[in-house]
Amino acid sequence: MSGTGGGGNGNGSGPRKRIVAVEAYCIGCRLCEINCLVKRSRSRKILKAFRRERDAVVPGIRVEESGHVSFALQCRHCDDAPCIAACITGAMHRDPATGAVVCDESRCAGCWSCVMVCAVGAVRPGKKRKVASKCDLCMGEEMPVCVAGCPNEALRYEER
């Protein structure tokens, strides 16, 4: 289809692989957060990343918990993504290959307009670096690490 090139396209409707969280299976172990942290860390080693980089890296997934109810939440990669609409730099864009909404950190100005418009709270301000932090579906990986490491199949990666 013509006209979808050039980046920045706000609409990515149509079936594509998405991460699905199953509230009933989530045991609130937060391994998904840890695995995401490790994936984004410099060391890529679970203990080092957890000990030394926890305050510098913002995981792209977050477990919310209340009593026995919990679920893991990350960017929904919305079809009509408000973060792309609100981005003042063009950094937030849809990856044409995967359909994922991703932030080009080299362009991001850290204005947090994306944070302002994300109704699921899944785009978050970076801690050490002034760039937006969010799930990128583990660009280039067969299976996102949060899904691969979930011990109770509470996260699935499937075409929707």
Partner 1 sequence: MKNDRVRYLVVGNSTAAIGAVEAIRRLDPSGTIRLLSREPHHVYSRPLIPMLLEPDVDLHRLDLRPRDFYEAHGVDKHLGLAAERLDPRERTVWTREGPVPFETLLLACGGKPFRPAEVGGLDACGVFSFTGWDDAVNIRSALETSKVSQAVVVGGGLIGIKAAEALRARGIEVTLVELADRVLPLALDARGSRMAAAAIRKAGVELLCGTTATCIEAPGGRASAVRLRNGACLPCGLVVMAIGVAPNADLAAGTDIRVDRGIVVDDRCETSVKGIYAAGDVAQGTDALTGASRPIPIFPNAFWQGTTAGTCMAGGEPRPAAAFAMNAVEVFGLPTISVGLATASGEGTEVLTAEDEAGTSYKRIVLRGNRVVGALFVGDVDRAGIYTGLIRDRVDVGTVKPLLTTDEFGLLRLPQQYRKHLVLGEGIEA
Which chain residues interact with partner 1 by CB under 8 A? Answer: 1-11, 18-24, 64-66, 69-71, 73, 76-78, 80, 82, 85-86, 88-90, 107, 109-121, 123-125, 160
Q: Which residue, 36 or 86, has its beta carbon nearer to partner 1?
A: 86
Cα–Cα dist 55/59, whole Å: 10
Q: What is the DSSP letter of 106?
A: T
Q: Which residue, 46 or 129, has its beta carbon nearer to partner 1?
A: 129
Shortest spacing between CB 48 and partner 1, in angstroms = 25
Q: Which residue, 52 or 76, has its beta carbon nearer to partner 1?
A: 76
Give residues with Cβ within 8 angstroms of 107, minimum separation 6. 89, 90, 91
Tokens of 43: 């060391």
Residue 62 identity? R
Shortest spacing between CB 69 and partner 1, in angstroms = 7
Give residues with Cβ within 8 angstroms of 120, minimum separation 6. 73, 75, 76
Shortest spacing between CB 27 and partner 1, in angstroms = 15
If we measure between CA atoms, which residue out of 120, 129, 118, 49 comes closest to residue 85? Answer: 118
User: Under a CB-based contact definition with an 8 Å cutoff, are residues 16 and 148 in contact?
Assistant: no
Shortest spacing between CB 43 and partner 1, in angstroms = 25
Q: Which residue, 26 or 138, has its beta carbon nearer to partner 1?
A: 26
